[in-house]
Amino acid sequence: MIENDIRTRAYFHFENRTGKNWGDSAANWSQAEAEEMALATARALDISGELFTFRPLSRMIPLLVVPSIDEKVANGVISATTLPVEIRRLQILWHPPVAPVVQLNDEVQIIVEGLPARTDIKPGDPIYASDMVPGSEHLVPPTINGSSVKYLLFFSSFMDLTVYFDFAPNAPVPSPEAPRMPRFELQKLAARSDFIQANPPETLLARLKHLGWPPSPTYYPSLVQTMAQPGGDTPEMIASTIIALHGAEYWRKRIVLWKELLIFATRTPYVCKAIDEYLEGDYVSAIYVAVPQFEGIINDYVRSSGGAVAREFRSTLSEFARLIESRKVLLFPRFVLKLVVDFIESGSFWNNTSRIADPKQEVNRHGIAHGVFTGFETQELALKFLILIDCVAFVLLQDQLVRGVLN
């Protein structure tokens, strides 16, 4: 919250007599401060961007993308043995009465315009993202036979999703004005792509797994940049950086999203309770509330997806992975699913307690659920369990989206 914003609002209340006690400067200030705090909280918890990404995709993928993949398999364009298709780029074009056109990965071609960052560019020269002035880039709307069309454009980068869309060209009374050219974050997308190529997620996540940290999309770029600094690769520095990345604002927003999309269904209150206890510093309670939920979350999801829940949890976990890999589409790299399943199945989580060297550092279900360990209740261990819940939520959300059952 910026003091100038409060001062401006307080003056507005005085000048326009909108304050509850507008003639009292102290009262105007208090009212303005409370209103700015409420606005800041609302902005911090705003998930409209996420909903505008997830919900359209949840309708379009089963309705248009999956049938298109089936057609490509039937025509030999895609081999059935390569399914599911990992979608890095997707574009859907609508131009009634013609059927929608679905373009996947390398089929997607876009045009971006922007101001040149240098003056020596000649016709025919290759253009790179760095050749444009940052912030000047705009996406040129796609056309079919010279006519602007409605479109949805999607990018997936590691565990991050970005969507652009414009349905105005198909409005009942289309605007005679030139089609809108939305801002396109070319520099940001290119920088993220280059950064991930230079710092492969598999390498980073394997290193973190040895330290007991579950997979998470939040590690890029801050944690990677910290680890590249002198002394930044120590377990203590890694832990402090991850703790800082997962503060109250992060978790409050996750809770709002999970509640809205019903990611955990009836287990949502328990997940929220674990987070609340963590944020209040009660790590014992946070751990004891979180630990029993993993089996329940996986079992519930397998059951609701038509899978078989086995007596042995490892068998149900394998069924969970099989169900997700049986879809025609994945919106994240296949190795992410493998890392999540391996972390739970073959990492410290499901190990016998006799194999746990440090209960304060290693995520282990049995030692806590059966009361074997004491003195384990550290902030670091509590956060590891919460990040694992967050990562499972990511997989569940993506799968619900692909199946078209997202709330």
Tell me the pLDDT tens digit for each residue of 145-159: 888 889 999 998 877
| Structure confidence at residue 67 as a pLDDT band (50, 70, 90) | very high
Identify the bridge partners of residue 143 per DSSP, sorted by sequence position: 148
| Structure confidence at residue 76 as a pLDDT band (50, 70, 90) | very high
Give the whole-angstrom CA distance, residue 404 versus residue 329: 12
CB 224 within 8 A of CB 243: no
- Residues contacting 88, CB < 8 A, separation 6+: 105, 155, 156, 157
| Structure confidence at residue 77 as a pLDDT band (50, 70, 90) | very high
Question: How many Cα atoms occupy the beta-carbon half-sphere of 387 within 13 Å?
Answer: 27
Taking residues 21-41, what's their average pLDDT? 72
What pLDDT score does 234 carry?
Answer: 93
Helix (H) or strand (E) holding 235: helix 235-245
Bridging pattern class, strands 329-330 and 85-86: parallel
pLDDT at 402 over 90: yes
Listed in sequence order, the DSSP H helices in 147-185 are none
Lowest mean pLDDT among 34-43, 92-101, 105-114, 191-200: 34-43
Q: Six-digit token pair at 289?
A: 């509330």
Give the whole-angstrom CA distance, residue 390 versus residue 278: 14
Give the whole-angstrom CA distance, residue 280 versus residue 386: 14
CB 166 within 8 A of CB 155: no
| Residue 8, φ and ψ in degrees, nearest 5 | -65, -45
CB 150 within 8 A of CB 94: yes
pLDDT at 179 over 60: no
pLDDT tens digit sequence for 308-362 = 999 898 899 999 999 999 999 999 888 888 888 888 887 777 777 778 777 877 7
What pLDDT score does 175 carry?
Answer: 59
Q: In percent, how much of the chain has pLDDT > 70? A: 92
Q: Six-digit token pair at 368?
A: 């806590």
pLDDT tens digit sequence for 294-309 = 999 999 999 999 999 9
What pLDDT score does 40 carry?
Answer: 66
If you average pLDDT over every residue of the chain, what do you get?
A: 86
pLDDT tens digit sequence for 204-218 = 888 898 888 998 888
CB 376 within 8 A of CB 287: yes
Q: Six-digit token pair at 54?
A: 């997830």
pLDDT at 176 over 90: no
